[in-house]
């Protein structure tokens, strides 16, 4: 969610039945270790991600195709 001026503190996706709102905003220094990428997990590429999502969403019907497309653009 980019391109909007200011800080986004609330977001509603009515077609997805999802709503998020910030409950607090804290102004503090962030250490470099907090921004470090995770050390656990497996590195994957776009093709493997699409395979994983397709397998996980096999029972989603036609809706799965648009969701998979959104995640693998």
Q: pTM for this structure?
A: 0.44
Judge whether 50 and 70 are in contact, CB under 8 Å: no
Alpha carbons 53 and 65: distance in angstroms, whole number: 10
Three state DSSP letters for 23-69: CCCCCCCCCCCCCCCCCCCCCCCHHHHHHHHHHHCCCCCHHHHHHHH
Per-residue pLDDT of the chain (73 residues; tens, 9 = 90+): 677 788 888 988 888 888 999 999 999 999 998 998 888 888 889 899 889 888 888 888 887 888 788 777 7
* Angle in degrees, 0-180, between the axes of helices 46-56 and 62-71, rounded to the nearest 10: 150
């Amino acid at each position: 969610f980019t391109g909007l001026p200011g800080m986004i503190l609330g977001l509603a996706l009515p077609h997805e039945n999802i709503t998020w709102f910030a409950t607090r905003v804290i102004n503090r220094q962030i250490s470099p270790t907090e921004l470090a990428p995770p050390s656990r997990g497996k590195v994957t590429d776009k093709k493997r991600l699409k395979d994983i999502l397709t397998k996980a969403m096999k029972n989603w019907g036609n809706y799965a195709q648009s969701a998979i497309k959104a995640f693998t653009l």
